[in-house]
A = this chain, B = another copy of it.
Amino acid sequence: MTPKTKANEAHESAKPAQVFDRFEIRLSGSGGQGLVLAGVIIAEAVSTLDGKNVVQTQSYGPEARGGASRTDLVISEGEIYYPKPMAIDLLLAMTQESCDLYHGGLKDTGVLIYDSHLVTQVPFARSIGIPFSQLARHEIGLPMVANVISLGAICAITKIVSEAALTKIVTKRSPRGTEEKNMQALQLGLKVGKEALEGSKL
C-alpha cells in the first residue's frame, strides 16, 4: 500500500476527467431548468455511444433539501456498486441556492461550473463561471436552452462525454422544430467552455 504522494495529487488534479474509475456529477439548480433532462442526455451519450456504465439518481421532497433541484450521475468503466455520489468530481450550479447547498460535496480536486449571472458568491476555488442563462436569452434567444449550453461547456471542460456522442443525443432528444436552436446552444457551450477552461487556472 503506497501512500499518495504530493506529486501524484498534483498530476491528478491537472486534468479532472482524463483517466478515472468513477466520476461523479451533480447537476443542480431550480425546478424547470431542465437539469434532469440534461442528466438523461449525458447518461445516454456516455452509455450508449461512449460505452461506459452510468447510474442517474434524482431525489424529490425533503430528500432534495429545500427547493433546489438536482440530478446525480455516477459514471464508471466498471460496475457501479453504490449508486449515489460520495465525492463529487463535477458540480454544475445554475442558481446561488444550489451552489450554497451542494458545494460541500465536491472533492478537493473537483470542479465547480456555475452560472456567473446567477451565482455571485462563489464558495469553491476550482471553479469556472459561465453566464449560461444570459447566453441562452441573448445569444440563442431561448432561455430554456441554458441547460444545453451547460452540456456543451461540461463536455469541453471535463471531456467526460465525447462531443460526437453528445451531439447525437441532443439532436435525438430535441423536440421537433427545436433541433437547430439546440445545436446552436450546444456549439455555443462547447466554445465558451473551451475558452473558459483556457482562461482558468485549472
Contact = CB atoms under 8 A, between A and B. Distances in A.
A124 to B, nearest CB: 25
B60 A48 contact: yes
Given A40-B36, A175-B175, A63 B53 contact: yes
A21 to B, nearest CB: 15
A79 interface: yes
B63 A80 contact: yes
A158 to B, nearest CB: 18
Interface residues of A, number: 26
A51 B63 CA distance: 11
A196 to B, nearest CB: 28
B36 A60 contact: no
Contacts of A190: none
Nearest to A52: B61
A166 interface: no
Contacts of A36: 40
A57 B60 contact: no
Given A80-B63, A83-B83, A55 B57 contact: yes
A98 interface: no
Nearest to A55: B59
Interface of A: 36, 40, 43-44, 46-48, 51-64, 79-80, 83-84, 175
Closest 4 CB pairs of A and B: A47-B60, A47-B61, A53-B61, A54-B60
